[in-house]
């Protein structure tokens, strides 16, 4: 009698319940729909302003800015006026563009230097200096406005572009953000650079800055938005109409003697283009920079 060896039946692995996976997919779809709805709601004012650029200014004042318009009444007259008879508009646009580029570049450079020192070096008074930066973050601009204005007048810098830029090159918020980001950079990179004979400036520009590209992109976008839309400080410093920045220039279109609503609306919409292009150029770095800067504190 021969015994036949029987192999045991294969043990089936436990099947995963499909319900949690289905639930996660449904939640992801619901989240996507919700975000789409929020985005559409946020874009409604922008779409209304865009439609308003094709309308007559007096009609907008009578009926308000709305998406409900008669298509037959839309025209390109406002755009024709913008590019042919807009007065100093493009001078104001150029002034804002130059000030924004110079101030953002200077702010990123100086603020990153200061933050790099706080994050990577040990020196006497380091903690006290950083505490002062945190305190400065809590001080509103309205408290600094009068002393700064007095200093600008005392040195004879009124109606000069550099008086708009220089007082705000070291931004406390930007310093704090960069410092938090640099804390996540391994200090072994600095030591390796020193061993290879790289200077301290070379270490910063060649080794640290490439790692911190997301942080620089995030701060470039945020500072550009603030500087491009800055109104109060340039209003105090600049006095010549040809030196006005765009927010001040657009405000001068509304006077007790007449209002140029057509140019105001189309000029305001046209002023959104630089910030929009900047965000599209650096959007892939923006989220990484904002999240990575808050990881370590």
List pLDDT tens digits, range 32-68: 889 888 888 888 888 888 888 888 877 777 777 777 7
The architecture (CATH level 2) of 86-292 comes to Orthogonal Bundle (1.10)
Which of 89, 97, 49, 81 lies closest to 248 in space, CA to CA? 89
The answer to whether the CB of 97 falls within 8 A of the CB of 274 is: yes
Sign of CA pseudo-dihedral 152, 155, 159, 162: negative
**To the nearest whole number, what is the mean pLDDT of the chain?**
83
Note the pLDDT of residue 296: 45
Spell out the alpha helix ranges (H) of the chain: 18-52, 57-63, 77-84, 89-120, 126-138, 141-154, 161-165, 172-182, 188-195, 200-202, 209-211, 213-228, 232-237, 246-251, 261-270, 273-292
Beta bridge mates, 255: 258
User: Tokens representing 153?
Assistant: 């007048």
Q: How far apart are CA 282 and CA 227, in angstroms?
A: 17
Low-confidence ranges of the chain (pLDDT < 50): 1, 3, 16, 293-297
Q: How far apart are CA 111 and CA 173, in angstroms?
A: 9
Give SS3 for 255. Answer: strand
Note the pLDDT of residue 85: 80
Which of 159, 45, 52, 165 lies closest to 104 in space, CA to CA? 165
The answer to whether the CB of 57 falls within 8 A of the CB of 262 is: yes
The answer to whether the CB of 233 falls within 8 A of the CB of 145 is: yes
Residues of the chain with CATH 1.10.3720.10: 86-292
User: Tokens representing 241?
Assistant: 């109409």
Q: How far apart are CA 152 and CA 149, in angstroms?
A: 5
Note the pLDDT of residue 290: 56
Note the pLDDT of residue 9: 56
Note the pLDDT of residue 7: 57
């Amino acid at each position: 009698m021969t015994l036949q060896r029987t192999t045991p039946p294969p043990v089936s692995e436990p099947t995963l319940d499909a319900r949690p996976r289905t639930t996660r997919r449904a939640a992801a779809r619901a989240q996507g729909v919700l975000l789409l709805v929020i985005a559409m709601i946020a874009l409604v004012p922008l779409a209304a302003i865009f439609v308003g650029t094709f309308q007559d200014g007096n009609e907008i004042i009578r009926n308000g800015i709305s998406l409900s318009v008669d298509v037959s009444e839309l025209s390109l007259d406002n755009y024709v006026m913008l590019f042919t008879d807009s007065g100093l508009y493009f001078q104001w646009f150029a002034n804002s563009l130059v000030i924004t580029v110079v101030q953002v570049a200077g702010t990123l450079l100086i603020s990153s230097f200061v933050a790099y020192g706080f994050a990577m070096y040990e020196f006497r008074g380091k903690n006290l200096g950083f505490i002062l930066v945190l305190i400065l973050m809590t001080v509103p601009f309205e408290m600094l406005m009068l002393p700064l204005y007095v200093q600008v007048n005392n040195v004879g810098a009124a109606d000069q572009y550099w008086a708009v830029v220089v007082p705000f090159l070291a931004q406390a918020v930007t310093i704090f953000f960069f410092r938090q980001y640099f804390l996540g950079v391994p200090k072994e990179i600095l030591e390796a650079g020193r061993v290879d004979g790289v200077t301290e400036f070379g270490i910063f520009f060649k080794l640290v800055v490439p790692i911190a590209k997301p942080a620089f992109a995030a701060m470039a976008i945020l500072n550009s938005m603030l500087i491009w839309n800055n109104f109060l400080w340039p209003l105090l410093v600049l006095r010549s109409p040809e030196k006005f920045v765009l927010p001040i220039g657009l405000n001068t279109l509304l006077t007790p003697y007449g209002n140029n609503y057509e140019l105001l609306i189309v000029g305001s919409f046209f002023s959104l283009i630089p910030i929009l292009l900047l965000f599209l150029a650096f959007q892939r770095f923006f989220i990484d920079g904002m999240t990575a800067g808050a990881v370590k504190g």
